[in-house]
Amino acid sequence: MIGLAITVMAVLAYSYYTTLQISGLRRLQTETSGRNRKDSLQLLRIQGDLNALALAMRDMLDNDEHYPLTAWSAQFERIRTDLDNAMRLEEQFAVARRTPEQREFLRSSLAQFWDAVGHTLALAREGKEEDARAQIRLTLQARQAALSTSVARLLVENNESEEQAAADVARIYDRVQRQLYMFLAAILTAILATSFYVMRSTRLLFAELASLSEQRRDLAQTLISTQESTLVEISRDLHDEFGQILTAIGSMLSRAGNHAPEGSLLRADLREVCEIVQRTLESVRSLSQALHPVMLEELGLESTIDWYIPQVERQTGLVIRYQKSGTSWAVNGNLSIHIYRVLQEALSNVARHSGANEAWVRLTFLAENLLLEVEDHGKGFSILSAPRGIGLVAMHERAELVRGRIEFTRPDQGGTLVQLTVPRKEINAA
């Protein structure tokens, strides 16, 4: 979060800085460079009008055909109109660095020039041609030259201002480019630092998760081992102690019944009690086998499943189609009880939750794995949305204990398919 905050702040700061630079650049280009070019165009226009005045005055002085000087009045008037228009526009576009003294000097010089022109033309209209020509030589040409010099100086200043603006633009571009490189370097540094921190934190987190998973696995194995040992003790107690007690009670009731008179009510009652004791003994033995089948240790997994499936059919009413395939090999040790418990839980779920009347149990011996499948075509369930009951959790834990994999899928016909895959090397190692 700190790395992300630093990155976002850097992006915002650089965006603000770049916006300011672009605004300054736009202002420099529009308000300075553009305005300067427009002002230069008007100055060139003024300079052109001044040059036209110079040519007109030269023609007035070098007139060999003796035209009256008043003949140039219309030309002077036309030039004056254009000059006034150019001066008005030039004042609008004049750069901000133009001083008020410079502006006033140009206006006053031009006004004095036109006053002198008016005086010269007045002399010409009075017939004083020579005085008018003298006025042109002494006053008008000097004032026109001064005006041309002033305009030329302003053009030079505009050119210098244009060069300065271009240099400022170049500096802004260079500064923004340097800042961009620095910004990219800072962002990459922040990203790399954040990435390294995230990778390190993730590595530590996964190491902690692996440690917790190993502890959970050890705890699950201890709990399941404790559970199995407890069930073994209870199974043995039921089989040995209660079984022997019920057997002794049945023998005593049989002997007592034999001593009772033939056809007496007591003999019938004793026989009925003896039958109840026998049924109870069978129930205790069945419960003992369900808690911990002794035949798992004596006959192995296959024989235990062969015995267990008819028991489930009789107790639940399910029709179970059992199929074995592949070349069988011994499954002994502690792993067989976990495989048997997964089968127990899967068939119990079919009987209690699926609503199906049939189930399929397939035990397949492969070259590298042992595959146990329990399938039904009942209601089915989604492993993602279904509540994680203790039975499903125990099935997963037992699959992990045997280094196997358990999957819950939905067959094409609907329902649920439970697949337990156990590596053969784990079975042989056990």
Alpha-carbon gap, residue 169 to 165, rounded angstroms: 6
| Structural domain contains residue 336 | yes
Q: CATH number, domain at 58?
A: 1.20.120
pLDDT value at residue 97: 59
| 366: in domain | yes
E strands of 25-178, at which residues? Answer: none
Same domain for 184 and 302, yes or no, is no
Do 46 and 184 lie in one domain? The reply is yes
Q: Give DSSP secondary structure letters for 199-265.
A: HHHHHHHHHHHHHHHHHHHHHHHHHHHHHHHHHHHHHHIIIIIIHHHHHHHHHHHHHHHHHSPTT-H
Q: Which of 241-250, 282-291, 380-389 has the lowest mean pLDDT?
A: 380-389
Q: Are residues 183 and 50 in the same domain?
A: yes
Which of 41-45, 95-99, 246-250, 322-326 comes out lowest in average pLDDT?
A: 95-99
Nearest CA to 362 among 351, 350, 380, 376?
376
Q: Which tens digit of pLDDT belongs to each residue from 332-374? A: 667 788 888 899 889 988 988 888 899 999 999 988 889 999 9
* Predicted confidence (pLDDT) at residue 28 exceeds the cutoff of 80: no
Judge whether 103 lies within some domain.
yes
- Rounded-to-integer distance, Cα 266 and Cα 370, Å: 57
Instruction: CATH number of the domain at 298, please.
Output: 3.30.565.10
Number of domains in the chain: 2
In a domain, 24, yes or no: yes
Residue at 63 is within a domain: yes
Residues 16 and 160 in one domain: yes
Domain ends where: 175, 194, 213?
194
- Select from 162, 177, 194 the last residue of a domain: 194
Please report whether residue 72 resides in a domain.
Answer: yes
Residue 200 CB-density burial (10 A; 0-12 exposed, 13-18 middle, 19+ buried): exposed
Q: Quickly count: other Cβ atoms within 10 Å of residue 294's Cβ.
A: 14
Cβ proximity of 76 and 53 under 8 Å: yes
Query: How much of the chain, in percent, has pLDDT values that exceed 90?
Result: 10
Single residue among 194, 218, 249 that ends a domain in this structure: 194
Residue 41 lies in a domain: yes
Same domain, 167 and 298: no
List the domain range (segments joined by +) for residue 328: 293-429
**pLDDT grade, residue 387 (50/70/90)?**
very low
Residue 313 burial class via C-beta count within 10 angstroms: exposed 0-12, middle 13-18, buried 19 and up: middle
CA distances to 46, 202, 241 from 110, in Å = 11, 82, 136
pLDDT at 280 over 90: no
Considering the domain boundaries, does residue 286 fall inside one? Answer: no
Q: pTM to 2 decimals?
A: 0.49
Average pLDDT of the chain to the nearest whole number: 81
